[in-house]
Structure 1
Amino acid sequence: MIDLPAGYTARPLVPTDAAAVVAVMAAQQLRDVGEVAIELADIESDWARPSFDLGAQTIGVLSGTATGEVLVGYAEVSGSSRGDACVHPDHEGRGIGTALAAWMRRRARERGEEWIGMPVPAGSAGDRLLAALGYEVRWDSWVLALPGDAVVPPRDLPTGYAVREARPEEYEQCWTVKEDAFLEWSARERESYADWAATVLGRPGFAPWNLRVVLDSDGSVVAMAHVVLAPITDGLEGYIGSLATRADQRGRGLAQALLADAFATARAHGAVRCALDTDSRTGALGLYEKVGMVVTQTWRHRGIRVTA
């Protein structure tokens, strides 16, 4: 199944492994970028997608200890040529990452994927390893934060438009707006409503205020944002996981108005910092910098072709 050094074993993951995966990812993130972004809710909601087969699409690497086996690495092939993997820093340099990368390539090929790739912090050990294994940079992404007590400059909406919390009967419209916008630049299969709902509506801790919308004069959703609260060192962070505007509604200031609303709402619910991420395929970096956000992290999505 996977070629590992002596003392390590591998098996598919099960739902009760979620906390152990978070611990490994947290250790790696803390070393690579200086803070932890992963949450248990992220893993649990991702694994809850109806299309995701946990036993077939994941693998965990375990090390035997005097008190039992401990998870020290993991990989998954998530679909649409995307994967994720990590190795606990205490177990790097032993060939585990190389073995996981080989498993991901093989599993992606078996699933009929053309590519497999994953995001890694620029210049990190994972970035260097994937480069050495022949993974090319397919795009860059950035994490941006709103510094200090700064706020996104308010933007008046056109007459007849309104921004507010989404209502249940509008959730499917939110998914449609998000998918239509993201598929303009992302070469992947369309995500099903059920999968989207699992990661947004079904995410542990979801509250209705997490989903923000702009409505036009007809009451249709023309822009959406998904914002969550995530624990950070000094409190809570308001993080926008997705922000999208319908193509025929762009150029009217809707995204900026929605961004200001989402961050203000997050702060009203206790956030001390606000952030989001974007990548080089979207062309949105300039928009976020224009409203005062600054890049705090740079990531690279490295990928490799798995088909012959």
Structure 2
Amino acid sequence: MDLPDGLTARPLRMSDARAMYELFATSEQADAGEVAIEPEDIEGDWQRPSFDLEQESVGVFDGPTLVAAAEVYKTRRAEATVHPDHRGRGIGTWLAAWVEDCSRRRGGTLVGQTVPLGSSAERLFTTLGYREGWTSWVLVVPEGAAIEPQPLPHGYLLRDLVPGADEQVAHLLVEDAFNEWPDRQPSAFDDWAARTVRRPGFEPWQIRFAVDPDGTPVGVAFMIVTEGCGYVDQLAVRADQRGKGLARALLVDAFERAREHGATRSELSTDSRTGALPLYQHVGMEVSKTYQHWMTDV
């Protein structure tokens, strides 16, 4: 199908990063009631070596104004939105077709997107015949809530990342843990680094290790703090070290670090593939938002 009269489409450019951020922030505010995305998220995503901005993104413009956009990462994961003022014109359907075609052209067999439960995007995917995937939750430690200490096993300790020495270790811990999930694509070191240690503004305190009595890192947490919110972006413990309370200790430590750096609340997200929801609820976190993944064969 064609775009509505007066609209044009082209691949996105690095110079569009700010407009992309503003578009997604406006959509998040309308769909979820708050803005979670940051400009640094766009910059980090677009600097991943495996992402081809020219081939795997599209922007829809009304004159010079970006009113809708989509990107597809590794043929599988889509991020697309339409500005609330331009919904109901068929642009979302056009983007969905573009996403499916992009995935197909790049060798994919399945593509999908995670969207707020009950949103207009969810209704669109239902209409287009997409099927449900996993459920995701955002959990929060509310402002002022007590953070209960979580003791480490004897001989274990927590420490910051040492630049130049620990980056590959952190990546391996995350990959080994996350690759246990079904329907999860591995991430090369440079892709992981683009969103963590090479993310604009990164500081070593944002990555914390749980270290065993021999000095070997066996768990890791990555934290982002922005506008009063600490977000635990990644949390992983080596399989043979689980059941010792290391994840809880890393989590509580991340909350405390976030407060030290100005956060008044802390958040993280998890989904039904991980089975980790009870862990987070155990340390006092509460579900604040629910999302659903929708996917289709291409």
Q: Where on the TM-score scale, by shorter chain, does this alignment land: which range?
A: over 0.9
Give the corresponding residue for 1:112. 107
Q: Contact conserved, 1:10 with 1:62, CA < 8 A, in 2? A: yes
SS in 1 for 2:8: strand
Counterpart in the other structure of 1:224: 220
Instruction: Choose the corresponding residue for 2:129, options 131, 134, 146.
Output: 134
Following superposition, the deviation at residue 189 of structure 1 comes to 3.2
Partner of 1:209: 205
Q: Distance in 1 between matches of 2:182 and 2:91?
A: 30
- Deviation at 1:166? 1.4
Query: Which residue identity lines up with residue 247 of structure 2 in the other structure?
Result: A
The amino acid that maps onto 1:15 is: M
Q: What pairs with 1:165-176 in structure 2 (closer than 5 Å)? A: 165-168=160-163, 169-176=165-172
Q: Which runs of 5+ in 2 are unaligned?
A: none
**What is the deviation of 1:181?**
0.5
Asked if 1:240 corresponds to 2:232, the answer is yes
Candidates 145, 149, 152, aligned match of 1:150: 145
| 1:8 positional shift | 0.4
Residue of structure 2 in register with 1:78 after alignment: 73
Q: Is the deviation greater in 75-84 or in 9-18?
A: 75-84
Check whether the contact 1:144–1:275 (CA below 8 A) recurs between aligned residues. Answer: yes
Residue aligning to 2:20:
21
Q: Give the Cα–Cα distance (whole angstroms) in 2 for the partners of residues 171 and 85 of structure 1.
A: 31
Tell me the SS of whatever aligns to 1:271. coil
- 2:264 match: secondary structure: strand
Q: 1:302 is matched with which residue: 291, 294, 298?
A: 294
Partner residue in 1 for 2:277:
285
One-letter amino acid of the counterpart of residue 202, structure 1: R
Check whether the contact 2:75–2:102 (CA below 8 A) recurs between aligned residues.
no
User: Which of residues 231, 241, 244 in structure 2 aligns to 1:249?
Assistant: 241
Match of 2:158 among 153, 159, 163: 163
- Look up the match of 2:44: 45
Query: Which segments of 5 or more consecutive residues in structure 1 lack a partner in the other structure?
Result: none
Whether 1:266 aligns to 2:266 is: no
Identity of aligned residues (%): 50
Q: State the 1:230 CA deviation.
A: 1.9
Q: Which runs of 4+ in 1 moved over 4 A?
A: none
Partner of 1:200: 196
1:113 is displaced (CA, Å) by 1.1
**C-alpha offsets along residues 143-171 of structure 1, whole Å, 9 cap, x if unaligned?**
00002322432121112111121112112
CA distance in 2, matches of 1:282, 1:291: 17
Superposition TM-score, scaled by structure 1 size: 0.94
Q: Does structure 1 conserve the Cα–Cα contact (< 8 Å) formed by 2:75 and 2:103?
A: no
SS in structure 2 at match of 1:160: coil
- CA distances 1:72-91 after superposition (whole Å, capped 9, x unpaired): 00000111511100000000
SS at match of 1:296: strand
Given that 1:80 and 1:188 are in contact with CA atoms closer than 8 Å, whether structure 2 keeps it comes out as: no
Distance in 2 separating the partners of 1:204 and 1:174: 18
* CA–CA separation in structure 1 for the residues paired with 2:73 and 2:273: 20
Q: Is the 8 A contact 1:152 1:259 kept in 2?
A: no
Q: How many residues align?
A: 297
Q: Structure 2: how far apart are the matches of 1:266 and 1:95?
A: 42
